């Protein structure tokens, strides 16, 4: 499915570049409610893949299940449609993908692909106030 994306991923090295453009920002949220950041919103996580990626390879996201901070960890979830990619810098009109799945790439990619990621979190009522965070890891592996 993500031929374009995958390719991209296959090589962050010579000729190709992977850029983490922005973190995923929930901003200020309320205890006891579910807050979702849409993959098409300006608060979603975003990467950009540019250049030539001649390797077959794989790329996958390692997604956290909780956000940690001063209080109990807050659950965070990613749906099967929370990933999106497009060849232009606009998620609208792009292609959805499941961020839980590894993406493979068999052929040559040349150009630019943008990738977005949304998520939802549900802090329980009376959650301890403060700043909570986690990390999404994008692993790029060439097949050699």
Partner 1 sequence: MRFKRRAAAASALLLALTAPAARAQSLMVGSPAIVIDDRTRTGALTLINDGIAPAEVSVSTFCGYPVTDSAGRMYLRTFATVDDSMPCAAQWIQSFPRRLRVEAKSRATVRLLVTPPAGLQPREYWARIVVSAKAGQVAVGGLTEASAIQASLALEIRSVVGLFYRKGAPRTGVMLDQLRAVVQGDSLVGRTLLTRQGDAAFVGSLKAVLRDSTGKVRSQSQLPLGVYYTLEPRFALGVAGLPAGPYELAVEAVSSRPDLAPDMLLPTLPVHQAVKVMLP
Q: Does 140 bind partner 1 (CB under 8 A)?
A: yes
Q: Which is nearer to partner 1, 31 or 95 (CB)?
A: 31
| Element holding 66 (H helix, E strand) | strand 66-67
Interacting span for partner 1 (CB under 8 A) from 40-48, 79-87, 89-97: 40-48
Rounded CA separation 56/58 (Å): 7
DSSP label at 73?
P
What residues are paired with 108 via a beta bridge? none
The reply on whether position 130 binds partner 1 by CB under 8 A is yes
Instruction: Please pick, from the candidates 2, 18, 83, 114, the single residue that binds partner 1 as defined by CB under 8 A.
Output: 18
CA atoms of 32 and 40, how far apart (whole Å): 24
Q: Does the footprint of partner 1 cover residue 125 (CB under 8 A)?
A: no
What does the per-residue mask of binding to partner 1 show for 80-119, with x meaning CB under 8 A?
Answer: ----------------------x-x-xxx----------x
DSSP 9: H
C-beta neighbour count of 140 within 10 angstroms: 20
Here the tokens at position 60 are: 């996958």
Please state, in angstroms and rounded to a whole number, the distance separating the CA atoms of residues 33 and 123.
7
Residue closer to partner 1 (CB basis): 113 or 121 = 121
Binding site for partner 1 (CB under 8 A): 11-31, 35, 45, 47-48, 54-58, 64, 67, 69, 74, 76, 102, 104, 106-108, 119, 121, 123, 127, 129-144
């Amino acid at each position: 499915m993500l031929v374009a994306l995958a390719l991209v991923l296959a090589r962050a090295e010579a000729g190709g570049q992977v850029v983490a453009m922005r973190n995923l920002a929930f901003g200020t949220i309320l205890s006891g409610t579910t807050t979702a950041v849409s993959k098409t919103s300006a608060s979603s996580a975003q990467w950009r893949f540019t250049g030539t990626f001649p390797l077959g390879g794989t790329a996958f996201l390692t997604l956290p299940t909780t956000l940690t901070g001063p209080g109990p960890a807050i659950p965070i979830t990613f749906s099967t449609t929370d990933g999106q990619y497009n060849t232009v810098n606009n998620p609208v009109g792009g292609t959805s993908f499941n961020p839980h799945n590894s993406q493979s790439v068999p052929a040559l990619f040349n150009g630019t692909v943008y990738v977005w990621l949304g998520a939802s979190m549900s802090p329980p009522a009376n959650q301890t106030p403060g700043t909570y965070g986690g990390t999404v890891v994008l692993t790029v592996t060439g097949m050699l």
